[in-house]
Structure 1
């Protein structure tokens, strides 16, 4: 919470303070070119005093100045939209600039200066900057190039490049210094040094000169009750807090250039001079032009970088979808894809919960700490994606969480499923230009100026902070959420089409798919597999005696018994009624199906205890055929296993037979469907 003694500077409408600096003067005209406001020092610069000018037409006051018909009859020209005119008034050579603001035209006058761009041709500087800027390949490199040219144009003692971090702290990432001038490289400045109201103006007005911290400000006289909007005025005075701020830094003249990408303030180039220094309007305009060029180039670089990142994430999502749809939502698939997701998002760990199972890759917290994390997430506002690069204070006390998940990106999936990406703590000593605001003393007479009273280096151990998530990563997180939900929904619908509704086993579709898949694989690699057909003997009397609900109960319990006898890779399906089939995906010896059949027959023949306390005892007939000895296709394999099973039925039942190619079989009752 902002201390009350600092609130005025944070909340003031800085563009409506109603004051100007004294290195020039200012007039405001309405749509009829009548002067409706004037700085009190207008008479010193223009002849008639300010009060005499109010209410008088522009042409009556300055007939010698041409724009031809009226002040407001001009179109915006150039990058800045500001007109620059040399004029001669009151025996002085002045530079006049004008710009629109709503229904008014603001006209400013400064002394003409022959000094141009630190003694160099401005056109040559602009061309050189364009050339060097074009060779930069990152936003920071372009910003540093801009800073060097701003330093060349201004010739100030200290020129810094400040980049705004996600929490609006500013970090000095580059600087140029005159001999004997101290610097602030790698130092952080608290966010309130340039509060939101000031940042808003820096985004709209790209360069700003404070000519002399010790000069008196000039009031604006006006015939209108509403204040004049000085957002784009060259002479607009700043808040007294900022003046005191400069004095505390021993800075007399300050000039700043904004770096804006799109409509976002990327950073700032503050220029400080320890003595009063004039910077002509033309040089300031040149710096603004350079900044706009840099902003356009940086915008292009950012778009290119984002495009590359988006393409990388797109390829990851396509591979993920294809892998899961081809190989299923299982441990090996998730292990591959979680690693790919982690690497694409430059995360240190991933944790996914799917169908009440947890899957991990990389460095993740222990079980207790994961529970702590989930409890905290449950208190947050429900959102599809929750991104944090700094832990809340109460979580920073958890060392395990701090080290493994100082940064987290939680992607909500369907129901109680989620994907969490984690980044490790980047513990470091942060250097501040003075003590941050939390430790400011409200009794200090300078505390109203700034959250601290000096700019000497103050070091702070920063914990519980990670690298922030980029805009591209947040965008990709939303797209990844959509992809995962779509593929999981597809798998769920597909699973329903492959599942027997009563027992939860696979159905005939699952049998055909499994057989076709294994045979296709073994055609390439070689191998044996077997189809085993199972038909319960005399099951109809169970339904007749006890009813279909009891019959269903018996089928479910026998299905569970049979499944318990199989390996994880084998597949048990219910074909319908009292018929089942098993795919033995690996057969090492011809006797493997018979050994399984013995276990199946023993298990099935054990009495089934019903929920009503009664018992049911059944037997089964089992037949099997082996690929490739007994068949070359899935259709043949099922047919031959079915023939063997019905051979048992026609004999004594409750037994097993392996298909014999030399035997003479009577056609089975059912012909299996052809696999797709």
Structure 2
């Protein structure tokens, strides 16, 4: 028989899942794949009426005949969605709650008293339904997490329930809390990262809830017939490192319960509960809290994905506008200034610096020229790829007050050896209130390696030299921006005059011919559809006659802008002349996609338009479409059939859309 001793390594590096002890508010058995008991906690006799000598090496069926059927641990019915399955059992006249889960080739079985399991189970559906209803009404991740805090406080009844959100450097900030009267709170205070080191965070990512019923209670050893340690990552009763027990003692609490919030696969934070006195929490309560946290984490993940999708869409619109602007006007000083301002808005940058063909341009409150040059030398020395970002200036430059103030955050985008874009974020000077000094967080003694902090008194620190970090979406968008610049800047200046309409900045008939040729070639190679739409404004001549050609031109520009806003990045919108436009839709999935766009175009083009003198006018349009290769096998036939569909609309009643048919 082997006793697995607790691992008293440094708490920062210890493999906490192999501690080899459990808390004594329950008992533990471990069976192998043949249902033979290979390990048991030393307190098993107190719970099951059998000593460790009685249970080790014996089959599960022989030990607990009153539980048959089922005949095997694997045959117990599964309830709920947790990886830990709960069962109410009667063993030797004692009613217990049994939890079991699989850990590799072992089954871990734990026993606790039923407590208020029945009461909580009967209300479980109502509590979950209330949580789902509340989540449906929240709009931010923080609101969702605060809603979870309220439900867990309701279920657990602890003295202090805190929402601890992890910051980028893994220190925690208490962003919300619920405390009973007379209980000290830590709202808005920060806890150093090593209060919950990485090895503990790893377990929090896997095991979503954790109870320490009484920090002063004795623990029970795990006795085993095998020498290899047992992985207790998902065990409900696993004991914790002595350093953590000391931490709780220093904090003045006897019981703690925590629930992990996982967002997008990452540990977002914890709902951590404290009691000044010993406090148990039933299996069912804990599992309910785990389900609440899982549902909240999924909802927060959805909100996060939506936020990122909106960010990506903003960047896409910026790149689309940049592309159209360059195609219409070439790379000019005015374009650079316009696009720098737009880039600052979308990237949430305070200033921008662009170098193009040895000319330098800035927008916003950028650092001085000499400081920018020094920064550029540092950036070139730091970068290992065309995109480099940081949110804190390092090295000798950290002593430069101009750079620290205006350029603590830097996003560098290299376009070529000479051309680049740099976006800056200003320093964010923040006053952080720590729950105890960050310096009082790591110590060493002969037993535990890590000595917990002895003080949780508030301590204020002023942070300097840091900016808001660049997000993953920012970095992705920077790479896409670089690719677009590489594609456009080399050839657009030469083709600008021959491919663009000088009034609207759209492509012209030459651009249409090129787009059709390229799209049909790609469509043939990939068996994709290509859509062709022709748009003719109905009765546009009276606008020129009544308000003048200058006003008519402005109306055409506005109509072009409305149409561009509805297109994909790959779509090509051109002005054929006068009030006629055409759109090429490469690589569409269904012919009906042209009809969807056609009706959206109609809605946009027929929306009222206000002239400079305040006059309100409303136009209509006739739109026809054809799809390659469904309606035509070449570009000429495709344009002809789209034209036939458009004139069919004009012949019928104007102000409509028609997809080509043989009778159109």
Question: Do both share a fold (TM > 0.5)?
Answer: yes
SS at match of 1:430: strand
Structure 2 contact 28–109 (Cα < 8 Å) conserved: yes
In the alignment, what sits opposite 2:612? none
SS at match of 2:65: coil
In the alignment, what sits opposite 1:102? 104
Of the candidates 386, 389, 406, which is equivalent to residue 387 of structure 1? Answer: 389
In the alignment, what sits opposite 2:214? 212
In the alignment, what sits opposite 1:461? 462
In the alignment, what sits opposite 1:304? 306
The answer to whether residue 321 in structure 2 is matched with residue 322 in structure 1 is no
Q: How many angstroms apart in 2 are the aligned matches of 1:513 and 1:212?
A: 77
In the alignment, what sits opposite 1:128? 130
Structure 1 contact 391–402 (Cα < 8 Å) conserved: yes
Report the Cα offset of residue 63 of structure 1: 0.9
Cα deviation code 1:368-405 (max 9, x no counterpart): 22122222223324123222223336433221111111
Cα deviation code 1:91-147 (max 9, x no counterpart): 322100101111111000011112677899333222211111110011110000000
Q: How many angstroms apart in 2 are the aligned matches of 1:116 and 1:85?
A: 12
Structure 2 contact 443–451 (Cα < 8 Å) conserved: no
Structure 1 contact 244–449 (Cα < 8 Å) conserved: no
Structure scoring higher RCO (CA < 8 A, sep ≥ 6) equals: 2
Cα deviation code 1:539-587 (max 9, x no counterpart): xxxxxxxxxxxxxxxxxxxxxxxxxxxxxxxxxxxxxxxxxxxxxxxxx
Q: How many angstroms apart in 2 are the aligned matches of 1:255 and 1:469?
A: 34
Report the Cα offset of residue 441 of structure 1: 7.4
Q: How many angstroms apart in 1 are the aligned matches of 2:306 and 2:478?
A: 19
Structure 2 contact 392–466 (Cα < 8 Å) conserved: yes
In the alignment, what sits opposite 2:651? none
Structure 2 contact 246–452 (Cα < 8 Å) conserved: no
Q: How many angstroms apart in 1 are the aligned matches of 2:347 and 2:130?
A: 38
In the alignment, what sits opposite 2:483? 482
Cα deviation code 1:440-493 (max 9, x no counterpart): 6747899954564311111001001122222322222222222222222333xx
Deviates more, 1:80-89 or 1:170-179: 80-89
Q: How many angstroms apart in 1 are the aligned matches of 2:198 and 2:217?
A: 26
In the alignment, what sits opposite 1:156? 158
In the alignment, what sits opposite 1:627? none
Structure 2 contact 30–108 (Cα < 8 Å) conserved: yes
Structure 1 contact 209–256 (Cα < 8 Å) conserved: yes
The answer to whether residue 141 in structure 2 is matched with residue 139 in structure 1 is yes
Q: How many angstroms apart in 1 are the aligned matches of 2:473 and 2:374?
A: 29
The answer to whether residue 287 in structure 2 is matched with residue 285 in structure 1 is yes
Of the candidates 32, 36, 40, which is equivalent to residue 34 of structure 2? Answer: 32
Question: 1:86–1:389: structure 2 CA closer, same or farther, 3 Å change rule?
Answer: same
SS at match of 2:33: coil
Q: How many angstroms apart in 2 are the aligned matches of 1:420 and 1:446?
A: 51
Report the Cα offset of residue 76 of structure 1: 5.6
Structure 1 contact 212–252 (Cα < 8 Å) conserved: yes
Report the Cα offset of residue 74 of structure 1: 5.4
Q: Which runs of 5+ in 1 are unaligned?
A: 1-5, 499-508, 527-676
Q: How many angstroms apart in 2 are the aligned matches of 1:460 and 1:244?
A: 26
Report the Cα offset of residue 271 of structure 1: 0.4
In the alignment, what sits opposite 2:182? 180
Q: How many angstroms apart in 2 are the aligned matches of 1:7 and 1:220?
A: 18
In the alignment, what sits opposite 1:472? 473
Report the Cα offset of residue 434 of structure 1: 0.8
Q: How many angstroms apart in 2 are the aligned matches of 1:130 and 1:441?
A: 41
In the alignment, what sits opposite 2:199? 197
Deviates more, 1:70-79 or 1:301-310: 70-79
Q: How many angstroms apart in 2 are the aligned matches of 1:412 and 1:225?
A: 57
Q: How many angstroms apart in 1 are the aligned matches of 2:251 and 2:76?
A: 42
SS at match of 1:85: strand
Q: How many angstroms apart in 2 are the aligned matches of 1:464 and 1:156?
A: 39
Cα deviation code 1:219-264 (max 9, x no counterpart): 1111122111111110011111111111111111000000001311
Structure 2 contact 12–450 (Cα < 8 Å) conserved: no
Deviates more, 1:189-198 or 1:269-278: 189-198
In the alignment, what sits opposite 1:643? none
| TM value normalised by structure 1 | 0.70
In the alignment, what sits opposite 2:533? none
Larger Rg: 1
| TM value normalised by structure 2 | 0.71
